[in-house]
A and B are shown apart, each in its own frame.
Chain A
Amino acid sequence: MGQIELKGVTKRFGDAEVIPPLDLQINDGEFVVFVGPSGCGKSTLLRLIAGLEDVSGGEIQIDGRNATAERPAQRGLAMVFQSYALYPHMSVRKNIAFPLKMAKMSQREIDAKVDNAAKVLNLSSYLDRRPGQLSGGQRQRVAIGRAIVRSPKAFLFDEPLSNLDAALRVNMRLEISELHNTLKTTMIYVTHDQVEAMTMADKIVVLQAGRIEQVGSPLDLYRHPKNRFVAGFIGSPKMNFIGGAEAAKYDAHEIGIRPEHIDVGTTGAWQGRVTVSEHLGSDTYLHVQTDYGIINVRADGEVALHHGDTVWLTPNAACIHRFDQSGNTL
């Protein structure tokens, strides 16, 4: 089981309230991603759940039990840190075995569990090396190994892939998703990368300034963002925002349209000039200077447009998001 519930959890550092009262329900077996810009409190929230920070108010329940005052190890959660946080003076085997040794397990049991975890994570041939002799991806796998041997109620990941290069990041992302499918254990994953959030999560929690802006499935957030912040944060490239008279036509203070929901043609609603065109083969990204500012467009396949070309843009009316003065979706 790994059901976690936050009830009115707050965190203050001195006079600064970094997390105002917050409620959140995380169901057993769910893959939940906390996402938001730097400094939004997502890591702090994870550390509160882990017990590495004390809450200033409210209650944290794990499997229906009040765990607010429990020490980190008592909560039965395992954490994977951004810096891997491996013990540099211990071999891979000893690193993975450390939590079991702390739990006073017998050596036979420890060996069996470590060997099993090493097999799952392809680390069997590295067990006698030190962390310093491993690549970034291997270190991350050791950190995950150290987490899974404990059979925790939930895994907590704190931006685990941000120290890896782009190609490795995609691989590790898949590995973590596979691990979740195999173990079916609750996972809470913190990232500022909305692509990671969209691809991995069952449920995304978007945070800003310690507040939850929206909770929902990736596609739910993509299709029905509650406000301008979520609309702008989820989706890549970012949503275009247009205010003024053009928005008024749609009876809104501001409208938002995703780059993939704009057609490019020789006639259309908005005229503009291409400033930059990015040709990826599968897609073409166009940055178009219009009367409403720069509008980003994502066109399928290869589009033969280049710097200086004049184009007409037509938004797909069904996909226009409307926002009121305070940024809430209408």
Chain B
Amino acid sequence: MARESTPQRKIVVTVIAWIIALAIFFPILWTILTSFKTEAQAIAIPPRFLNFDWTLANYVTVQERSNYFGHFMNSVIISLGSTILALAVAIPAAWSMAFVPGKRTKDVLMWMLSTKMMPAVGVLIPIYLLFRDWGLLDTRAGLIIVLMLMNLPIVVWMLYTYFKEIPGEILEAARMDGASLGKEILYVLTPMAVPGIASTLLLNIILAWNEAFWTLNLTTSNAAPLSTFIASYSSPEGLFYAKLSAASTLAIAPILILGWFSQKQLVRGLTFGAVK
């Protein structure tokens, strides 16, 4: 029997959904509000919600103290660079695993994913030493390589899932119709996989943008993205909550806007294949 959807039930469900959504969003909202307070109001007890003296002083200070635009550009270059590099490696890999699977394809996929379960700190020392020896510390290229490698398993998995959804018979039809491998990928596979490739790209940009462990440990100033920029406000003179909040707001704003405009694509991408 289908579950009945009465108006009362709808209202209750909607209210619960809003409460959960607000609870999840609250820390971000609080950060944004705090960024407009003075340092004293930021730590005032009881906390002030909206009744405080709104000020932009923190943003001015943050701008003066550090080069926001430089960090922003680093974030853009590192997240885009690592994503494009990951796609370039993952598309052929996922293609071959989806359409020409071998006996061990499933094992390879599981093994790739299992590397994500290992704590990153376990390989920090070797990677740090390698980076030091190769002169990659505090370089964008170094971070692009590391973040690409970190996210590669997820990218391959996502693309593999999308490609699996494309019936092999369609590619065979293209082969019968005289398409070479290149044309088959260009005219048939890629147009059919565009939604999947796009959501993989978006998710990977977001993951790379938010990455903090490697960016904090492998950069200091030159290649430091926004995640490192936030961290620089948490020390060493003690915590300045208002300034820290202003920096955080500036750091998350671009990705929040990107996520907002692409949310349909992201949700569709992540639930792709779940329902036929």
Q: Is B122 an interface residue (CB 8 A)?
A: no
A98 at the B interface (CB under 8 A): yes
**CB 8 Å contact bits of B170-190 with A (1 = contact, 0 = none):** 101111111100010001100
B173 x A79 contact (CB < 8 A): yes
Which residues of chain A are near B192, meaning CB under 8 Å?
87-89
Which residue from B176, B178, B187 sits with its C-beta under 8 Å from A52? B176
Asked if A103 and B167 make an inter-chain contact with CB atoms under 8 angstroms apart, the answer reads: no
A87-B188, A88-B192 as given contacts; A73 in contact with B170, CB under 8 Å: no
Could you tell me the distance between the alpha carbons of A272 and B178 in the complex, rounded to whole angstroms?
61
**Complex interface: chain B residues within 8 A of A52 (CB):** 172, 175-176
Chain A contacts for B176, CB-based, 8 A: 50, 52, 72-73, 77-79, 99
Q: Identify the closest chain B residue to A152 (Cβ).
A: B176
C-alpha spacing A103/B179, complex, angstroms: 9
* Cβ-based interface call for A141 (8 A): no
The one of B169, B179, B187 in contact with A85, judged by C-beta atoms closer than 8 angstroms, is: B169
Complex-state Cα separation, A273 to B101, whole angstroms: 56
* Docked-complex contact B172 and A102, CB < 8 angstroms: no
Cα distance A277–B177 in the bound complex, in angstroms: 50
Inter-chain contact B169/A102, CB cutoff 8 Å: no
Contacts A83-B167, A87-B188; A99 near B177 (Cβ below 8 A): yes
Q: Is the CB of A81 within 8 A of B188?
A: no
Expressed in whole angstroms, the minimum distance between the Cβ of A99 and any Cβ of chain B is: 4
Give CA–CA (A49, B194) in the complex, Å: 33
Residue of B nearest to A104 (CB): B178
Min CB gap B198→A, angstroms: 14
Q: Are B188 and A73 in contact (CB under 8 A)?
A: no
Check if A146 is an interface residue, CB within 8 A of chain B: yes
**Does B273 lie at the interface of the complex (its beta carbon under 8 Å from any beta carbon of A)?**
no
The reply to whether B172 and A73 contact each other, CB–CB distance below 8 Å, is no
Which of A77, A85, A89, A103 contacts B173 (CB under 8 A)?
A: A85
Tell me which of A79, A83, A102 contacts B179 (CB under 8 A). A102
Q: Which residues of B contact A73 (CB under 8 A)?
A: 175-179
Q: CA A99 – CA B172 in complex, angstroms?
A: 12
Please tell me the number of chain A residues within 8 Å of chain B, measured between CB atoms. 22
Known: A73-B177, A78-B176, A87-B188. A102 touches B167 (CB 8 A): no
Given the contacts A83-B167, A89-B191, A89-B192, A98 and B172 also touching, CB distance less than 8 Å: no
Q: How far is the CA of A137 from the CA of B212 in the complex (A)?
A: 55
Nearest chain A CB to B176 CB, angstrom units? 5
Q: Which of A44-72 contact B (CB under 8 A)?
A: 50, 52, 71-72
With a cutoff of 8 Å between Cβ atoms, the chain A residues found around residue B187 in the complex are 87, 98
Set B170, B183, B191: member contacting A102, Cβ < 8 A: B183
Name the distance in Å between A282's Cβ and chain B's nearest Cβ.
Answer: 38
| Complexed CA–CA distance, A185 and B170 (Å) | 24
Beta-carbon contacts of A19-50 to B below 8 Å, as 1s and 0s? Answer: 00000000000000000000000000000001
Chain A, Cβ-Cβ closest to B188: A87
- Bound-state CA distance A127–B172 (Å) is 23
Q: Is B177's CB under 8 angstroms from A146's CB? A: yes
> Residues of A contacting B167 with CB < 8 Å?
83, 85
Contact B173 A102 (CB under 8 A): no
Is B169 a contact of A72 with CB atoms below 8 Å? no
**CA separation between A79 and B188, bound complex, in Å?**
17
Interface residues of B in 146-176 (CB under 8 A from A): 167, 169-170, 172-176
Task: Report which residue of B167, B169, B178 has the largest number of chain A beta carbons within 10 angstroms of its beta carbon.
Answer: B178
For B173, the chain A residues whose CB sits under 8 A away are 79, 81, 85-87, 146
Distance in angstroms between the alpha carbons of A73 and B178 in the assembled complex? 5
Chain A residues, CB < 8 A from B179: 73, 98, 102
Q: Which residues of B contact A88 (CB under 8 A)?
A: 170, 192
Known: A73-B177, A102-B177. 5 other contacts (CB 8 A): A87-B188, A88-B170, A89-B192, A102-B179, A150-B177
11 contacts between A and B (CB under 8 A): A77-B176, A78-B176, A79-B173, A81-B173, A83-B167, A87-B173, A87-B192, A89-B192, A98-B187, A103-B178, A150-B177
List A residues at the B interface (Cβ < 8 Å): 50, 52, 71-73, 77-79, 81-83, 85-89, 98-99, 102-103, 146, 150
